[in-house]
Amino acid sequence: MVGVSKQPLTFAGTFDWGAAELDLACRPLQGQRTQVCDHQQQYCLTLRYDLAFTTLVFWTLQGKPYYCLEPWTAPRNALNTGVDLLQVPPQSHTTLGVEIAVAATNAPQ
């Protein structure tokens, strides 16, 4: 995971919800599934994504009723560094999949 300073951080399982902004890039990913649960709103958001996605970005602003959870195929600044940059040759194509599911927290996942 990378914090605002762009330096690697260790994710301890919780976020500092008191921060003005959360902007975290998590990598390497340990699988193709991520889940975020909002127990106050009583729902869980589950993302499933292809192996090509190597980074998961979580972003939100304090006091806002939303967050962004985005699977990326490369880390930040990959266009400049080339790290894990997904390249598709000219006249070719690639297909990647992302599945988003929302369920009540009391429903089986």
Domains of the chain, by residue range, sit at 21-80+94-104
pLDDT band at 4; cut points 50, 70, 90: very low
Position 48 scores a pLDDT of 96
What is the model's pLDDT at position 11?
A: 54
Residue 85's nearest CA partner among 51, 52, 57 is 52
Instruction: Give the other-Cβ count within 10 Å of 67's Cβ.
Output: 14
pLDDT score of 54: 93
Residue 101 has pLDDT above 60, yes or no: yes
Mean pLDDT of all residues belonging to the chain: 84
In which region does residue 13 sit, left (phi positive, over 0), alpha (psi from -120 to 50) or beta (all else)?
left
Asked if residue 102 has pLDDT above 80, the reply is yes
Of residues 72 and 28, more confidence is placed in: 72
Closest of 32, 76, 72 to residue 56, by C-alpha: 72
